[in-house]
């Protein structure tokens, strides 16, 4: 088998509940075809009713065409799924959580003879307390580079500055750094001087109505009256598919291009 000179990777923003999973089923195959995608990585921490991941929701994402799943702070919301994190090599939790917790924050998979490294980190600004993502990230990237130069990094963080700082920090050592968590896609896709593609936040895949995927009523109640109501995923209205696609030189790991995908008004 001849190893290709490039690999094209599609990263999908936070998949929000059943609307997000349904959107994957309806639109991911076409996106793979249109953009000649070799591999798909999706953030699944909100896939199970907006809070966490389950075996069945992960299986739905894989069946829709996702090859690898990253996550974030909500990965612990479904207690019964925690043990699964030790059993799977296709689902990550942020690497800078305490090492005694289930799962792993770094992994690899192979498509068309190309090994792709994936690293999942979580920010510390306005986020739960975790270890230094820069120190942890540097150590794990150094390990991955002994395996492959093609490395994708999902930075699950609130602050845009922290995500961009991570992109600059890893520029030249990884192929793509992209942000998740805010559910709002940014328009700053670029390739840094060292050859690393970057996007501050890839956005959300799921309901366009509501507030970042949740029904408006409970969110407004919290903001206007400081009353904490249980949030529920917005089930009605139009949907959106947010992603980014990058083509990477296999030999060097440098990104050759990056393109945002933001499909709105989907049925």
Which of 173, 157, 162, 152 has its CA nearest to residue 246?
A: 152
Which bin fits 65, alpha (ψ -120 to 50), beta or left (φ > 0)?
A: left
Question: Active site includes 74?
Answer: yes
Residue 65, Cα to own-chain centre: how many angstroms? 15
Count how many Cα atoms sit within 13 Å of the Cα of residue 202 in the half-sphere of its side chain. Answer: 31
Residues in the chain: 267
- Select which of 74, 156, 181, 183 is catalytic: 74
Print the SS3 string covering 9-77: EEEECEECHHHHHHHHHHHHHHHHHHCCCCEEEEECCCCCCCCCCCHHHHHHHHHHCCCEEECCHHHHC
**Which positions are annotated as active-site residues?**
74
């Amino acid at each position: 088998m001849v190893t290709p000179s490039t690999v094209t990777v599609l990263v999908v923003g936070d998949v929000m509940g059943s609307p997000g999973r349904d959107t994957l089923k309806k639109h991911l195959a076409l996106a793979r075809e249109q953009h000649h995608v070799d591999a798909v990585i999706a953030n699944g921490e909100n896939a199970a009713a907006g809070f966490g991941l389950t075996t069945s929701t992960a299986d739905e994402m894989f069946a829709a065409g996702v090859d690898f799943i990253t996550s974030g702070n909500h990965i612990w919301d479904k207690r019964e799924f925690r043990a699964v994190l030790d059993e799977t090599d296709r689902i990550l939790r942020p690497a800078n959580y305490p090492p005694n917790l289930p799962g792993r924050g770094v992994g690899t998979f192979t498509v068309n003879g190309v090994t792709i490294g994936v690293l999942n980190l979580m920010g510390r600004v306005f986020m739960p307390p975790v270890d230094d993502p820069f120190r942890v990230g540097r150590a794990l990237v150094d390990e991955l580079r002994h395996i492959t130069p093609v490395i994708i990094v999902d930075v699950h963080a609130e602050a845009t500055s922290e995500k961009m700082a991570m992109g600059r920090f890893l520029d030249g050592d990884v192929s793509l750094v992209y942000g998740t968590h805010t559910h709002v896609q940014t328009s700053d896709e670029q390739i840094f001087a060292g050859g690393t593609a970057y996007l501050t936040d890839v956005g959300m895949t799921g309901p366009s109505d509501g507030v970042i995927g949740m029904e408006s009523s409970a969110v407004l109640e919290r903001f206007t009256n400081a009353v904490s109501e249980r949030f529920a995923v917005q089930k009605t209205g139009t949907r959106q598919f947010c992603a980014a696609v990058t083509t990477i030189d296999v030999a060097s790991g440098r990104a050759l291009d990056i393109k945002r995908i933001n499909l709105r008004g989907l049925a």
